[in-house]
A = this chain, B = another copy of it.
Amino acid sequence: MLKQTRRILFPTCAILVLITTGVLAQNEPAFAPDKMDTILYGVAYYPEYMPSDRLDKDVELMQKAGITVVRVGESTWSTWEPRDGEFQFAWMQRVLDRLHQAGIKAILGTPTYSIPTWLYKEHPEILVTHNGTAPPLGDSHFKDHPAVIGYQVDNETAPTGIPTHYTNAAFLERLKQKYKTPETINKIWGLVYWGQLVDKWDDLPPRDGILNPGYKLEWENFQHDIVTEYLAWQARIVNEYKRPDQFITQDFSGGVHTNLDQWAIARNLDIVAENPYFETQKRLDASGIWLAGDLGRSLKHTNYLVTETNAQTIGWDSRTQYPQYPGQLRLVVYTHLAAGANMVEYWHWHSLHYGQETYWKGVLSHDLEPNRTYAEVSRVASELKRIGPELVNLKKDNKVAILFSADSANALSYMPFSDHANYMSILRQMYGALYELNLEPDFVAAGDAKLSRYKVLLVPPLYSASDTALQQISDYVKNGGQVVMAFKSGFTDEHSTVRDVMAPGPLRAATGFHYQEFTNLAEPERLTPDPYGVGEQNKGAMWEEFLVPDTADVVASFDGPYWKFPAITRNRYGNGVLTYEGTVVTDALQREIVHEVLKRAGLTGPDQNLPPTVKVRSQERSSRSPIHMARDRIS
Contact = CB atoms under 8 A, between A and B. Distances in A.
Main secondary structure of the interface of A (DSSP, over half): loop
Given A132-B209, A318-B417, A518-B321, A498 B353 contact: yes
A132 B319 contact: no
Interface residues of A, number: 95
Interface stretch (A187-195, A263-271, A529-537): A187-195
Interface string A333-368: 000000000000000000111111111000001111
Interface in A496-516: 496-503, 516
Contact of A355 (B49, B78, B193): B193
B497 A195 contact: no
Nearest to A419: B319
Nearest to A353: B498
A354 B417 contact: no
A516 B369 contact: yes
Contact of A77 (B76, B133, B195, B415): B195
Contacts of A111: 195
A516 B371 contact: yes
B133 A503 contact: no
A312 interface: yes
Contact of A415 (B317, B500, B562): B317
A358 B197 CA distance: 17
Given A319-B520, A320-B520, A321-B518, A354 B200 contact: no
A463 to B, nearest CB: 10
Ordered nearest first, which 9 A-B pairs have the shortest CB separation? A190-B354, A114-B195, A193-B355, A117-B203, A78-B197, A353-B498, A317-B415, A318-B417, A365-B516
24 contacts: A49-B193, A75-B194, A75-B195, A78-B197, A78-B199, A114-B194, A117-B196, A117-B197, A131-B211, A212-B354, A213-B354, A282-B522, A313-B519, A317-B414, A318-B416, A318-B417, A318-B543, A321-B518, A325-B562, A352-B498, A353-B500, A367-B500, A368-B500, A371-B517
Interface of A: 46, 48-49, 51-52, 75-79, 82-83, 111, 114-118, 121, 130-133, 189-190, 192-200, 202-205, 209, 211-214, 281-282, 312-313, 317-323, 325-326, 351-359, 365-369, 371-372, 414-419, 495-503, 516-520, 522, 543, 562
